[in-house]
Chain A
């Protein structure tokens, strides 16, 4: 009996546990747990409905569609009145930080190898995809036995998932056998030799891929065109830990190409002739190649050229044979490209758009009949999109003796105006307001550019109001005579705001720094442009290698959570460099910076710079928000020993600075500094009677302000924009200074593009004025001019007042005049920087004119005393600016001054 009871107990338990779905019963009650108060309203199932597989499934579907739940479970309990249903729901989780453990198992962060689904709904298959991607990368490095285990950490408060991929790489495989399949042109050993990957060496897929180019070169040398080699299989044997590699070879067609009558380089052959892209040869492609070659000859100026093509298909063991016989004829240069009849567009605007150029210093110009037709059509199109109708454009070329003159004649038509501006689909806002946002007004001149700018403006205003999914289309239709109606059709989408902002992935930087720099706030409109700006601001801090700002994937919600996903950059940066400057010789620099002290965007750096004439140590601490204001604060200490042409000095300087950036281009710098100078050797001391302590130690304490406006497109090699700086300093005994003076310095530089070249100009003015008990300034506070960055007809500091002669073993004859410097400085530089295209890329030249000088005092200022230097230079571009060789000729040299000076240095003069 006891046994029967036990059996019954077990059986009954089993029956009770088996969840038989009570289909075909009536629904007695429904409850939704975990959703909002209106969750049950979204259900398609109601009390009293019959429960069937279809109705139950539809109920789950309706709940998902209403709120995008991440988990939906249905519990059922049968009762006398029917079935009680409980729907248990949970909001979804979203992907946040995804990291490798250990971090260094791959060369770069995981985001470099697989697309990471930040902000997207969590799903298991996404995790599998990432794991598969990492595993594939590890196999590429030879870790075929790698194990990648995802560890998931779900945070119910934020609904974010942190994924850690725990990697055990396993042993690294070696190369086994390498087989080539699909060709018989070469013995396999020859291909293996070309591949240069040995059996037994460490397997690395990237290295094999790179070496395939060498194998392809073998085929190319035997006239095969566009040979393709791919790794078809990697067969790994776990017992030997070796990988056998199978490489598939598609040799391609063989081409015996002969071009006579014209020197066609290999690069040009591949660029012009279609066989290489098409990877085959046939009669049609031979004709296409002939036309391309002919067009090339026309553009090179051979306007009477002819090309005859010959083609023989291949035999069993032979190549395709293609011959091009070129008769080039006379070569013409484009003497002139003249545009007539244009009033609305300038010549430069029109010339930029046509492919025809006139001859220049290093070129004969570019012309062909095809280009002539294209030019006319481009100009017609330009007038049409700018709202003109009835414009006629004719382009003609006349040939003279060895030269072509191109004339483009334009008869401008009537200019159309905007008729009505209508808005369709703007439900959330007044249509008149939306029309105003476009900036397009009835009656103004029409152009496609204006309409598109209006479309962008409307889109931006909707974005500002949180309509991130807005779409704006523009439709233009001719209306009454000479006018065009513009309609903007708007599909608004819902407006949403930012609810919560999550920060993830930051292991060093504190969250408040992220929030402060992003500029995003809860409650603001969800504006995609603000999101982009936040990303830009966070990148600009330099604290992060990667910044992604994504909405958590719930576009149907009016309040949206935003995830700021970060990868911290390494905080410690070591930089070092070597430079050169005239008279200083070789100079080395080493700098160590920690850019994220305590995770608060504070930085400290230490720099050492040394040459045979100057040794300097500097350390700087930066506080990003001084006194919690939008001010950068700096505290800096430097110790320097310098051997200048006029004096030797040691300095210790301690300064405080605060920098306020007003916009991207404008900033204001306030400075307070205290400096101790030890003058040990002055080669010109013309003021010993007034300042007898000039040799020795003295202190200068000053405050100052600088305004900087910089719109240059590139700091190292600008081609457009302006640079302006103005500095005022004030030193006084009340501040602890031994000398009283004021100082004003200003510099303005401008850069303008000019048909591939750059026109650069700069003007500098400086004026120091001692006052009160101070009669003259120590030599360290005087201005000097001369050298590679000021007046290039003079050695460093040699322009301006000269002091007494003295023995100098470095100078010719052992004697030189020491410069004395002065209290006023005026320098103007003009330079024309141009590329030299027929040499290798990055090479350029310059022609320059420098004028100005240093005056002992401001009252001595006179244009008649200005020096004049004319020179030319050679430039070679590097990522840090140009290597520069300048030769300057002193046009109004005084007795004792050199006729010319040469300089080799890095970076522009200004």
Chain B
């Protein structure tokens, strides 16, 4: 017995020390920024990542600072969305939206059902706002160019052969969406300069 204790004592001590760490209390959240009086925390970033995973969004920036900027931008966009009446998403809109995604879970952050529905709501209403603000007519040249350079090659990779006539409606919508999102991104990039944003050091 004594030999067993002696041979394992050092191991046991080391184990205890390792599990102690610098105090037992770990930092679990912190304030990262203040946007128009609303805090942004590490938990908000984790929630954002989890929602992106659920909605199959794979274009998240790698660095935390860039992600923080993205979250801040989205919060500022939401302030503009809130000013426009008639954009609210209904429960049916949200159900349809959620049905289109895999809703992968992120083990690092437990998304509740309400989190998912709120994430869906924000995305639906933001897109509606962008359409009102940035939608422009799409020309035939643009549709042709997009079909030739993007749509047809990607369809071919998937083993689909489609003509422009067959895919015109879809291509036109894609071109429209890309234009809207591009304009929205440029506009949103300038929002922090006109808003009260404080990145905490």
- Interface residues in chain A, defined as those with a beta carbon under 8 Å from any beta carbon in chain B: 5, 8-9, 12-13, 15-17, 19, 21-24, 52-53, 56-57, 60-61, 64-65, 69-77, 84, 86, 93, 121-126, 129, 152
Tell me the chain B residues, 184-201 only, with Cβ under 8 Å from chain A.
Answer: 192-193, 197-201
**Main SS of the interface on chain B?**
mixed
Chain B hits for A5, CB < 8 A: 11
Q: Are A122 and B25 in contact (CB under 8 A)?
A: no
Q: Are A9 and B11 in contact (CB under 8 A)?
A: yes
Q: What 10 new A-B contacts, CB under 8 Å, besides A19-B27, A70-B200? A: A8-B15, A13-B19, A16-B20, A69-B31, A74-B30, A75-B28, A77-B24, A77-B25, A84-B25, A124-B199
B63 CB → nearest A CB, Å: 14
* Closest Cβ neighbor of A15 among chain B residues: B19
Known contacts A9-B11, A123-B199, A124-B201; A73 and B41 CB within 8 A of each other:
no
Tell me the chain B residues, 1-29 only, with Cβ under 8 Å from chain A.
Answer: 11, 14-15, 18-21, 23-29
Known contacts A64-B39, A123-B200; A71 and B18 CB within 8 A of each other:
no
Known contacts A9-B11, A21-B43, A123-B200; A73 and B27 CB within 8 A of each other:
yes
Q: CA–CA, A363 to B85, complex, Å?
A: 61
Number of A-B residue pairs at CB separation under 8 A: 102
Q: Are B26 and A19 in contact (CB under 8 A)?
A: yes
Q: CA–CA, A743 to B157, complex, Å?
A: 109
Chain B hits for A64, CB < 8 A: 31, 34, 39
B113 CB → nearest A CB, Å: 13
Proximity bits, B50-74, A CB within 8 Å = 1, else 0: 0000000000000000000000000
* Closest Cβ neighbor of B26 among chain A residues: A19
Proximity bits, B126-160, A CB within 8 Å = 1, else 0: 00000000000000000000000000000000000
Q: Are B15 and A24 in contact (CB under 8 A)?
A: no
Q: Are B31 and A123 in contact (CB under 8 A)?
A: no
Can you sample 11 A-B contacts with CB below 8 Å? Answer: A17-B21, A21-B29, A23-B110, A53-B43, A53-B110, A56-B29, A71-B200, A73-B31, A122-B201, A124-B200, A125-B198
Q: CA–CA, A17 to B26, complex, Å?
A: 8
Chain B hits for A16, CB < 8 A: 18-21
Q: Are B28 and A22 in contact (CB under 8 A)?
A: yes
Q: CA–CA, A15 to B30, complex, Å?
A: 21
* Partner of A57 from B20, B44, B110, B197 at Cβ < 8 Å: B44
Chain B hits for A93, CB < 8 A: 201
Chain B hits for A56, CB < 8 A: 28-29, 41, 43
B41 CB → nearest A CB, Å: 6
Chain B hits for A24, CB < 8 A: 110
Q: CA–CA, A612 to B18, complex, Å?
A: 93
Q: Are B41 and A57 in contact (CB under 8 A)?
A: yes
Instruction: Check: B97 CB closer than 8 A to any chain A CB.
Output: no
Chain A hits for B110, CB < 8 A: 23-24, 53
Chain A hits for B197, CB < 8 A: 123, 125
Q: CA–CA, A129 to B190, complex, Å?
A: 12
Q: Are B29 and A9 in contact (CB under 8 A)?
A: no
Known contacts A9-B14, A9-B15, A53-B109; A19 and B28 CB within 8 A of each other:
yes
Instruction: Check: B79 CB closer than 8 A to any chain A CB.
Output: no
Q: CA–CA, A57 to B11, complex, Å?
A: 39
B5 CB → nearest A CB, Å: 15
Known contacts A24-B110, A125-B198; A77 and B39 CB within 8 A of each other:
no
Instruction: Check: B38 CB closer than 8 A to any chain A CB.
Output: yes
Q: Are A71 and B31 in contact (CB under 8 A)?
A: yes
Chain A hits for B49, CB < 8 A: none
Known contacts A60-B29, A74-B27; A123 and B201 CB within 8 A of each other:
yes
A3 CB → nearest B CB, Å: 12
* Closest Cβ neighbor of A12 among chain B residues: B18
Q: CA–CA, A60 to B38, complex, Å?
A: 10
Q: Are B25 and A72 in contact (CB under 8 A)?
A: no
B44 CB → nearest A CB, Å: 7
Q: CA–CA, A123 to B35, complex, Å?
A: 12
Q: CA–CA, A52 to B21, complex, Å?
A: 25
Chain A hits for B39, CB < 8 A: 57, 60-61, 64, 72
Chain B hits for A122, CB < 8 A: 201
Chain B hits for A123, CB < 8 A: 197-201
Q: Are B25 and A86 in contact (CB under 8 A)?
A: yes
Proximity bits, B107-120, A CB within 8 Å = 1, else 0: 00110100100000
Q: Are A73 and B200 in contact (CB under 8 A)?
A: no
Q: CA–CA, A550 to B18, complex, Å?
A: 50
Instruction: Check: B176 CB closer than 8 A to any chain A CB.
Output: no
Q: Are A125 and B192 in contact (CB under 8 A)?
A: yes
Q: CA–CA, A76 to B26, complex, Å?
A: 6
Instruction: Check: B121 CB closer than 8 A to any chain A CB.
Output: no
Known contacts A53-B47, A84-B25; A72 and B31 CB within 8 A of each other:
yes
Chain B hits for A74, CB < 8 A: 27-30
Chain B hits for A76, CB < 8 A: 25-26, 28
* Closest Cβ neighbor of B192 among chain A residues: A125
* Closest Cβ neighbor of B198 among chain A residues: A123
* Closest Cβ neighbor of B115 among chain A residues: A53
Known contacts A16-B21, A21-B43; A75 and B31 CB within 8 A of each other:
no
A81 CB → nearest B CB, Å: 14
Q: CA–CA, A65 to B36, complex, Å?
A: 12
Chain A hits for B37, CB < 8 A: 65
Interface centre among B110, B193, B198 (most CB of A within 10 A): B198
Chain A hits for B43, CB < 8 A: 21, 53, 56-57
A1 CB → nearest B CB, Å: 9
A9 CB → nearest B CB, Å: 5
A905 CB → nearest B CB, Å: 56
